[in-house]
Amino acid sequence: MRARRILAATLLAACAALLGAATAQAAGPSHAKAKRYAHRTYINQLGHRRHFVLQGGRHAVTASDGSRITAWNILLADSGDGSGEAVIVFRGRRFLGWASIYTSIHVAVHARGRAIDVVYGAYSGNDPFCCPHATRTIAYRWNGSRIVASATPPREYGRRGAQLHLAAG
């Protein structure tokens, strides 16, 4: 009888540990953690580091393996015109990086099914800053080992945006 109770207690403890790990993985990062990673993200411009802030709320999906993929739109902290946007991505509470390693313009983030969709403004010719002639949606999915994109994000007026970096935490 005592052996059964010990075995039951051991199994219960093991299940609780597994459930706790799964819950932690599925929970995603806190708003405060996302804010810290946004601020740690920077671009180099004219010899200065320009940092980012969170813009909008969290967008989360459950990947096919049950893990939680979460994304936030971030914006240059001192952007006066809304330029200099990017998307930070987490799996569980772990920072994976950015949807693209370059800044973009007119970015919107959405959760759809098992993917994080990022809608980018697509500019050409003499499109005014306010009004790209089109948008391009790229789906970002967890493939079991990393985030993969369904396509390459559009360029900013025919060139790549500024490259993103992560400051030491």
SS3 at position 109: strand
> What is the torsional sign of CA 166, 27, 144, 147?
negative
Q: What are the tens digits of pLDDT across the range 75-89?
A: 999 887 878 999 999
What's the CA gap between 111 and 1, in Å, rounded? 51
Choose among 97, 92, 89, 95: nearest CA to 65.
92
Percent of the chain exceeding pLDDT 90 equals: 67
Q: Is the pLDDT of residue 157 over 90?
A: no
Outline where the chain has alpha helix (H): 2-27, 31-40
Q: What is the pTM of this model?
A: 0.82
147 compared with 156, residue with greater pLDDT: 147
Q: What are the tens digits of pLDDT across the range 53-69?
A: 999 899 999 999 999 99
